[in-house]
Each structure stands twice: as structure tokens, then as C-alpha cells.
Amino acid sequence: MSLLRMQGVWKSYRQGGAFSCRPALPVLRNAGLRIEAGECVALLGPTGSGKSTLGRILLGLEAPDTGTVLFNGQPMRGAGGRVAPALRRQVQAVFQDPHGATSPRFSAFEVVAEPLRYYGVTGAALRARVEELVVSVGLEVAELGRLAHRFSGGQLQRLCIARALALRPKLVLLDEAVSSLDVATQARVLALLGRLRAETGVAFLFITHDLRLVRGFAQRCLVMQDGQPLDVADPFTGGSALPALAALRDAILPARPRGM
């Protein structure tokens, strides 16, 4: 049984607002995917292809128009359309902008402790878990008192990763999680994520528009094409019939520009 399975999902948005008479624009069309426990799956696609919409549905932030999302074989949404708290904590996220994802008033400790406090962890257990998480992402316990926004972008993203792992989720959605970082920091953060996946067994859905980032990190690749995530055995040589994938390949700069 797959950790997560999406089947026959459709999602449309009303053009011009809820009261517009214009037709709804479909973003996801009969979309389906699966993620196994401990697996890293890359979801590739250009801006506007539906990657983030699919991610919000998997996080329970939006409901599909039709279709099902199963987590460990159970529907993600109950009869009332709500995601159960016990299930919600099993799927966490790291977003593109770490500054926008954290409060400027929070210390590093408070950033990582926030989800733990929500689920009732306090006192010495809270302190111990936060320190364990901070060390696991390569930061110093001595820095926990600093305001989070005084950290560099790469350090702050490490705090966001620690926060995402705080509740020991089964799946973490990485939505352009390294796109705002410089190339050297991207490499360090991806190496960190790979180590954490090996140590904890967490699964990743790595959403990106940058084809370069999936090499050596993702075990399987999906490409958004016409509102569907399609499996591609090798995104660097296969899938030649997919225009979306061809566009991503063309966007990769050569190691040495022509004429030099």
C-alpha cells in the first residue's frame, strides 16, 4: 500500500472571482500520483502548470473538485470535508521563502517549537526536542535565542526544515524549497535533506521548476503536462514527447556559453 495516492483529481478556479460568469479554468485534469514510504519523488513543471495547486491539495489546504487523496489507505478528508489533526501532522511542508514562512518576532527556538506547542509538548521535553532538531540540521544550540530573521537565508531554511520534521511526519512537501538560495547553499541543503531522509525514513515530494536540482536527489520524476503529473523514467534523456519537459531542458544554461 502506497503512503500517499491521488486518483482522478480535478481542480478548477473561477476566472474573475467567485461571482464571475466566466467559465472555470481547470488546473488539474484527472490527476493521479503515488508516493511510497521513504521515497523522494520530484514534481517538475513550469510556473502555472499546477504544481503548487497539487501540493496544496496534498497538504489539505484545498479540496479537489472531484477525485480522492488517500494517506496510508485512508481518505485524507473525512465525511465533513475536514482533515483530521492526527493525519494533518503526518504531512508537513517547507516553502520557497523562509523569511515569509517565519515570524520576524520569533526566535529560532520559537520557530522550531511552534508545531510542538500546538500539539501539547511543553517544558523539558519541548526544549530537548528543539535542541535535537536544531543539531540535526547543522545549527548550534547556542543560537536558539537569536531572532530567526537575523539568520542567513540558508540557515533560516534549515530552521524551517527542522520545524517541518518536528512532529515526525511521514511525508514532507518541499515546494521550491531551495529555489531562493544560491547554488552552493542549494547543494548543502539538498545534501542535508538526503541525509535526513536516510536517517528518519521520511518521504519527500520535491516540487521544482529547476531540472538541475533533481539529479542525484530524487528517485522518481513526474512532469506536469496538461494538468497531469506524468512519470518520466529519465527527465534528462526521456519524455521527448512532453513539451513541458523540453522547455525545462532548454532553460538549463550550458556549462560554457557558445562562442567562448
The CATH code of the domain that includes 181 is: 3.40.50.300
**What's the confidence (pLDDT) of residue 233?**
85
Band (pLDDT 50/70/90 cuts) for residue 15 is confident
Cα(1)–Cα(12) distance, integer angstroms? 29
Instruction: Kindly state the average pLDDT of the residues 228-249.
Output: 82
**What's the confidence (pLDDT) of residue 253?**
55
Q: Summarize pLDDT for 130-148 with one digit per residue, the tens.
A: 999 999 999 999 999 999 9
Question: Residue 35's closest CA among 205, 194, 213?
Answer: 205
Domain boundary among 168, 193, 220: 168
Phi, psi of 3 (to 5 degrees): -65, -45
The answer to whether residue 30 sits within a structural domain is: yes
**What's the confidence (pLDDT) of residue 133?**
97
The residue with greater pLDDT, 149 or 238, is 149
pLDDT at 18 over 70: no
The answer to whether residue 158 sits within a structural domain is: yes
Residue linked to cell 562562442 = 259
pLDDT at 92 over 70: yes
Compute the 3-state secondary structure of the chain and give helix, strand, coil in percent, each to the nearest 5: 35, 25, 40
What's the 3-state SS for the chain?
Answer: CCCEEEEEEEEEEECCCCCCCCCEEEEEEEEEEEECCCCEEEEECCCCCCHHHHHHHHHCCCCCCEEEEEECCEECECCCCCECHHHHCCEEEECCCCCCCCCCCCEHHHHHHHHHHHCCCCHHHHHHHHHHHHHHCCCCHHHCCCEHHHCCHHHHHHHHHHHHHCCCCCEEEEECCCCCCCHHHHHHHHHHHHHHHHHHCCEEEEEECCHHHHCCCCCEEEEEECCEEEEECCCCCCCCCCHHHHHHHHCCCCCCCCCC
Cα(156)–Cα(174) distance, integer angstroms? 15
The answer to whether residue 133 sits within a structural domain is: yes
Band (pLDDT 50/70/90 cuts) for residue 239 is low
pLDDT at 216 over 70: yes
The answer to whether residue 259 sits within a structural domain is: no
Q: Summarize pLDDT for 31-82 with one digit per residue, the tens.
A: 999 999 999 999 998 888 999 999 999 999 999 999 999 999 999 887 777 8
**Average pLDDT score, the chain:** 90
Least reliable range by pLDDT among 79-88, 145-154, 250-259? 250-259
Please name the residues in contact with 213: beta carbons below 8 A apart, sequence gap of 6 or more: 42, 178, 186, 190, 206
Quick check: 202 and 196 in contact, CB under 8 A? yes
Band (pLDDT 50/70/90 cuts) for residue 258 is low
Cα(211)–Cα(221) distance, integer angstroms? 10
Enclosing domain of residue 146: 106-168
Instruction: Kindly state the average pLDDT of the residues 78-103.
Output: 88
Q: Summarize pLDDT for 159-181 with one digit per residue, the tens.
A: 999 999 999 999 999 999 998 89
Total-model pTM = 0.90
In this structure, the answer to whether residues 116 and 159 fall within a common structural domain is: yes
In this structure, the answer to whether residues 82 and 186 fall within a common structural domain is: yes
Number of domains making up the chain: 2
Please name the residues in contact with 64: beta carbons below 8 A apart, sequence gap of 6 or more: 9, 10, 11, 28, 57
In this structure, the answer to whether residues 193 and 242 fall within a common structural domain is: yes
Say if strands 203-208 and 40-44 run parallel, antiparallel, or are unpaired.
parallel
Band (pLDDT 50/70/90 cuts) for residue 194 is very high
The answer to whether residue 254 sits within a structural domain is: no
**What's the confidence (pLDDT) of residue 20?**
66
**What's the confidence (pLDDT) of residue 146?**
96
